[in-house]
Amino acid sequence: MGLEAFNLKPLSRSNINISPNAIIGEGVRIGDNTVVHDGVEIGAGSIIGSNCTLGEPLTASYSDSNYVQPSTVIGKEAVIRSHTILYAGSTFGAGLHTGHHAVIREHCTIGDHCSVGTFGDLQGHITMGNHCRLHSSVHLAQGTRLGSFVFIYPFAVTTNDRFPPSTETIAPMIGDYTQIGVHAVILAGVHIGKHCLVAANATVNRDAADHSFLVGSPAVLKGDVRELVDAGGHPLYPWPARFDRGMPWKNDL
Amino acid sequence: MGLEAFNLKPLSRSNINISPNAIIGEGVRIGDNTVVHDGVEIGAGSIIGSNCTLGEPLTASYSDSNYVQPSTVIGKEAVIRSHTILYAGSTFGAGLHTGHHAVIREHCTIGDHCSVGTFGDLQGHITMGNHCRLHSSVHLAQGTRLGSFVFIYPFAVTTNDRFPPSTETIAPMIGDYTQIGVHAVILAGVHIGKHCLVAANATVNRDAADHSFLVGSPAVLKGDVRELVDAGGHPLYPWPARFDRGMPWKNDL
Amino acid sequence: MGLEAFNLKPLSRSNINISPNAIIGEGVRIGDNTVVHDGVEIGAGSIIGSNCTLGEPLTASYSDSNYVQPSTVIGKEAVIRSHTILYAGSTFGAGLHTGHHAVIREHCTIGDHCSVGTFGDLQGHITMGNHCRLHSSVHLAQGTRLGSFVFIYPFAVTTNDRFPPSTETIAPMIGDYTQIGVHAVILAGVHIGKHCLVAANATVNRDAADHSFLVGSPAVLKGDVRELVDAGGHPLYPWPARFDRGMPWKNDL
């Protein structure tokens, strides 16, 4: 057990409510007014902001006297910013970052080094590989599946119901390295390949092959991302080639 | 008076600040750090999450020494999730559900069994019938009027000012059973009929008759919802016909 | 030092955590569970809601033992609504208003009488003149520059990276009096002139001269705002002319 008061001088932390059945790793720091529920495990070196709720009990707990709280595992060195709510029953790899006010519902399986920005809204049962980055205000429908290195920008949304309301839903799948622009809409059941670029405000209503550059509402295939060049004529995509070859993706290009 | 500590073991609730002039029904449970202001009435069996503010005083209270706090009525069996803010002066029927971080401003009149999702933003003076469901991140302009069984999906917005900024505003009206897709915009003063379907990312700038299927920006009438069929050729709309005939709408089809 | 308990009867304020190195002006009122960090100065007559964090330490503070907290200056008569987070290192003029759950990151320079609505998300290093109004759920990319009297409506976004992800970013600039409609997207590096009107759901991907009326995705120049008239044939823009000539802009028309 390694809980210590958040070391920011000159505030002494107050009103932290931690279940005796939570497991707090070495060197974890927790801010004011945060609640850590039963069955939560926080990895060593993590920083938890103020006013958070970790291990929020599922809706079933409201009325089911036999409710069993599922475990919640937060990997080492997480940074969970203030007013974030993580439901019980999810597993997060190492290096999770959240922005402020993020909400992540139950039964998500998130890899290492992923981030969910301010006002992020993950509706549960979501899977993510490693190194995904959701900027602010991304809404992912229940069941959405992301590969690794998927980056999604503000107000983008995935949906899981084409003709609402329905009792059967099917969520989208987005491949490795794909970039989803601001205000993009990915409709129910769509599969987007690897290394794609979805433009700002596009509405994607059918599957897209690897390297697709998608534009418009409904989105059309504008070209292959490998045709996009910068002002100097250098190719822009696949984007990992623009960064250091020593990065984690060096074997994937 | 029926206040009891939120019964989730093993946390004992703390730092709940309830006005002596609030009325708390039988069996109500309230989470940590929640504030309940003067004049709030919470119906029996309701569950209030942590970090909420119920009966938030109106802006007039900041400077008006004669400010009178209007009453706030929350019907029975509400589920108000954490970090929700309900202003004073609204009335909610039975079975209200809110997501996390929702904000509902003053003088709303909301029927029974309505829900406002996470990051919902209701700007006040809004009316809703019964069984409306706002998914996450729905923004309703001040004065918006919804019928019953209206479902609205993430990032959809109603507006009340066509050529901003104006001193006179006129909000939209949306009829029973209508479905408003993700990222749809309903412009000021528009009346949308019953049983309509507004597609994802549509911008509706004029009135629409019952059963309209609206697509695009600006939206055009793509057809009649009754022409839409599923993969098996079965009609999709009016959608209540796809659900159990014993549902509340049995006399409305 | 002028701190007093928030005077709303019948609640007595509790659990307020204020750094001894913060400066609290005369007559400032602060709500429950709010944290005020080191180096924050709050102007006289300000009202701070509950569950706020003022002077949130920068990310560098998590690991840098030599971290120096920059000062945060909030001008007089601010109204900062509940659950707002202001990072350290920004300067706000007089009369700042925020909605609920707003997040304003570090090193912003904001003029007098500006407002940032509920769920507002300012990514830092942003400049604003005076009298800007951001309605709910406006997301401004890091480095965005606004003139004075710029009004921006819900779910509008500025971006700073045209072909993401990039290491170099360039943010937009928006001129005085311009109105940005709901769901509008202003792409990286775009300069929008003064007195423009950007329609709902428009995607602006290139510069726009003063008085432009921009519509569509990608946006096209639909006309000059001075051609727009109301039902009575009166010009709608420049909009300050529709308001009292005694307003602050009287010398700017």
- DSSP per-residue string spanning C36-53: E-TTEEE-TT-EE-TT-E
Coil, strand or helix: which one is C101?
coil
Q: Which of C47, C50, C200 sits opposite B203 (nearest CB)?
A: C200
- Residue B185 has a pLDDT of 98
pLDDT of residue B233: 94
Cα(B236)–Cα(B213) distance, rounded to whole angstroms? 12
Paired sense of beta strands B72-74 and A151-152, if any: unpaired
Pair type for strands B40-42 and B23-24? parallel
DSSP letter, residue C151 = E
What pLDDT is recorded for position C167?
Answer: 83
CA distance C51 to chain B (A): 7
Pairing between β-strand C220-224 and β-strand C212-215 as defined by DSSP bridges: antiparallel
Please, are residues C32 and B51 in contact by the beta-carbon 8 Å criterion?
Answer: no
* C-alpha atoms less than 13 angstroms from C-alpha of B151 in its C-beta half-sphere: 15
Cβ-Cβ contacts under 8 Å between A and B: the total is 104
pLDDT bucket at B251, cuts 50 / 70 / 90: low
Q: Which CATH architecture has domain B1-59+69-125?
A: 3 Solenoid (2.160)
Residue B9 pLDDT > 70: no
**pLDDT score of B245 more than 70:** no
Report whether pLDDT(A10) > 60.
Answer: no
pLDDT tens digit string along B187-230?
A: 999 999 999 999 999 999 999 999 999 999 999 999 999 999 99
Query: Region A41-63: what's the mean pLDDT?
Result: 95
DSSP run (H or E) holding C220 = strand C220-224
Tokens representing residue B184 in the block: 């749809």
Six-digit token string for A86: 């993580």
Q: pLDDT tens string for chain C (253 positions)? A: 344 444 333 445 678 889 999 999 999 999 989 999 999 999 999 999 999 999 999 999 998 989 999 999 999 999 999 999 999 999 999 999 999 999 999 999 999 999 999 999 999 999 999 999 999 999 999 999 999 999 999 999 999 999 999 888 999 999 999 999 999 999 999 999 999 999 999 999 999 999 999 999 999 999 999 999 999 999 999 999 888 766 676 666 5
Contact A37 B11 (CB under 8 A): yes
Q: Residue C183 is nearest to which of B19, B56, B185, comparing CB atoms?
A: B185
Q: Given this model, what pLDDT does residue B86 score?
A: 98
CA B68 – CA A90 distance, rounded (Å): 45
| pLDDT at residue number A15 | 85
φ/ψ (deg, to 5) at A24? -110, 120
What residues have CB less than 8 Å from B201, skipping those under 6 apart? A185, A201, A203, A217, B181, B182, B183, B184, B217, C201
pLDDT of A116 higher than 50: yes
Helix (H, G, I), strand (E, B) or coil at B35: strand
How crowded is residue A110: how many other Cβ atoms within 10 Å of its Cβ?
Answer: 24
| Residues B183, B157: Cα–Cα separation, whole Å | 7
Q: E strands along B89-227, which residues? A: 91-92, 97-98, 103-104, 109-110, 115-116, 121-122, 127-128, 133-134, 139-140, 145-146, 151-152, 157-158, 173-174, 179-180, 185-186, 191-192, 197-198, 203-204, 212-215, 220-224
Confirm or reject contact between B165 and chain C (CB < 8 A): yes
Q: Which fold has domain B156-163+170-253?
A: UDP N-Acetylglucosamine Acyltransferase; domain 1 (2.160.10)
Q: What is the pLDDT of residues B89-105, one digit of tens each?
A: 999 999 999 999 999 99
According to the model, what pLDDT value does residue C4 have?
44
CA distance B151 to B148: 9
How confident is the model at residue A244, as a pLDDT? 74
Model confidence over B122-140: pLDDT tens digits? 999 999 999 999 999 999 9
C11–B33 CB contact, under 8 Å: no
Q: Does C144 touch chain B (CB under 8 A)?
A: no
B6: pLDDT strictly greater than 50? no
Of B118, B91, B87, nearest in space to B105 by CA: B87
What's the burial of B162, exposed, middle or buried (CB within 10 Å: 0-12/13-18/19+)? Answer: middle
Of B41, C241, B82, nearest to A33 by C-alpha is B82
Confidence of residue A8 (pLDDT cuts 50, 70, 90): very low
- Cβ pair A142, A123 in contact under 8 A: yes
CA distance linking residue B44 with residue B47, whole number of Å:
9
Give the pLDDT confidence of A170-218 residue by residue, as tens digits.
Answer: 999 999 999 999 999 999 999 999 999 999 999 999 999 999 999 999 9
Site from A17, A103, A183, A236 to mutate, C interface, most C CB atoms within 10 angstroms: A183
A164 touches chain B (CB under 8 A): yes
Nearest to A16 by CA among C165, B207, C17: C17
Question: Position of tokens 């203030």?
Answer: A82
The long-range contacts involving B229-235, CB below 8 angstroms and separated by at least 24 positions, are: B230/A163
pLDDT at B179 over 70: yes
CB B247: neighbour CB atoms within 10 A?
A: 13
What percentage of residues in chain A have a pLDDT greater than 70?
92
What phi and psi values does residue A61 have, to the nearest 5 degrees?
Answer: -65, -20
Measured in residues, chain C has a length of: 253
- State whether C20 and A10 contact (CB < 8 Å): yes
- Per-residue model confidence (pLDDT) at position B28: 95
B121 touches chain C (CB under 8 A): yes
CB nearest to A17's CB, from B14, B118, B201: B14
**In this complex, is the C-beta atom of C40 within 8 Å of any C-beta atom belonging to chain A?**
no
Predicted confidence band of residue A168 (pLDDT cuts 50, 70, 90): confident
Instruction: Collect all residues with Cβ–Cβ distance below 8 Å to B120 and sequence separation of at least 6.
Output: B98, B99, B102, B103, B104, B134, B136, B137, B138, B139
| Contact present, C28 and C46 (Cβ < 8 Å) | yes
B149 touches chain A (CB under 8 A): no
CB proximity C32 to B under 8 Å: yes
Which pLDDT band, with edges at 50, 70 and 90, does A249 fall under?
Answer: low
Q: How confident is the model at residue A167 (pLDDT cuts 50, 70, 90)?
A: confident
Q: What pTM does this model have?
A: 0.95
Distance CA B210, CA B52 (A): 39
A79/C contact by beta carbon, under 8 A: yes
Q: How confident is the model at residue B71 (pLDDT cuts 50, 70, 90)?
A: very high
Q: Give me the pLDDT at residue B246, please.
A: 62
Interval B150-155 mean pLDDT: 98
| B39-43, B114-118, C224-228, C243-247: range with lowest mean pLDDT | C243-247
Contacts of C239 in chain B (CB under 8 A): 163-165
Q: In a 3-state reduction of DSSP, which class is residue B225?
A: helix
Please choose, from the candidates A132, A195, A183, A135, the residue with its C-alpha nearest in 3D space to the C-alpha of residue A156.
A183
What's the pLDDT score for residue A119? 98
Cβ proximity of B181 and B153 under 8 Å: yes
d(C-alpha C121, C-alpha A153), whole Å: 13
Q: Identify the pLDDT of residue C9.
A: 39
Which whole number is the average pLDDT over B50-76?
95
Q: What is the predicted pLDDT for the residue at C253? A: 56
DSSP of chain A? ---EE---TTPPP---EE-TT-EE-TT-EE-TT-EE-TTEEE-TT-EE-TT-EEEEPPGGGGT-TT--PPPEEE-TT-EE-TT-EEETT-EE-TT-EE-TT-EE-SS-EE-TT-EE-TT-EE-SS-EE-SS-EE-TT-EE-TT-EE-SS-EE-TT-EE-S-SSSS-S-----EE-TT-EE-TT-EE-TT-EE-TT-EEPTT-EE-S-B-TTEEEETTTTEEEEEGGG-B-TTS-B--SGGGGS-TTSTTTT--
pLDDT at B8: 38
The residue among A84, A103, A115, A155 with the most chain C CBs within 10 A of its CB, best to mutate, is: A155
- What's the pLDDT at B12? 58
Rounded Cα distance, B6 and A20, in Å: 17
For chain B, what's the residue count?
253
- pLDDT range class, residue A243, cuts 50, 70, 90: confident
Cα A197 to Cα B204: distance, rounded to the nearest angstrom: 28
**CA-wise closest residue to C131 among C145, C154, C111:** C111
d(CA A72, CA A94): 13
Q: Which of A58-67, A80-89, A219-228, C100-109 has the lowest mean pLDDT?
A: A58-67
Q: What tokens does A220 get?
A: 């059309």
Strand boundaries in C38-119, DSSP class E: 40-42, 47-48, 53-56, 72-74, 79-80, 85-87, 91-92, 97-98, 103-104, 109-110, 115-116
- Average per-residue pLDDT for chain B: 92
The backbone torsions φ and ψ at residue B226, rounded to the nearest 5 degrees and listed phi first, read -70, -10
Are A136 and C139 a contacting pair at CB < 8 A? yes
CATH 2.160.10.10 residue ranges of chain B are 1-59+69-125, 156-163+170-253
The C-alpha atoms of residue A156 and residue A153 are separated, in whole angstroms, by 6
**167-196 of A, contacting B, C-beta below 8 A:** 167, 183, 185, 187
B14 contacts A15? CB cut-off 8 A: yes
Which band of pLDDT confidence, cut at 50, 70 and 90, is reported for residue B2? Answer: very low
**Distance from the Cα of residue C148 to its chain's centroid:** 11
> Does residue B34 carry a pLDDT above 50?
yes
Most confident residue range from A33-37, A228-232, C127-131: C127-131
pLDDT at B253: 56
With contact defined as 3+ CB pairs under 8 Å, the chains touching A are B, C
Shortest Cα–Cα distance, B164 to chain C (Å): 7
Q: List the single residue in C20, C85, C157 with the smallest CB-CB distance to A155.
A: C157
The sign of the torsion formed by the CA atoms of C102, C108, C112, C114 equals negative
Laid out side by side, the sheet with B97-98 consists of: B4-5, B29-30, B47-48, B79-80, B97-98, B115-116, B133-134, B151-152, B179-180, B197-198, B212-215, B220-224
- Contact by Cβ (8 Å): C210, C226: no
Q: Does C78 touch chain B (CB under 8 A)?
A: no
pLDDT at A114 (0 to 100): 98
Backbone angles phi, psi at B30, to 5 degrees: -130, 135
- Which of C34, C31, C42 is closest to C71 using CA atoms? C42
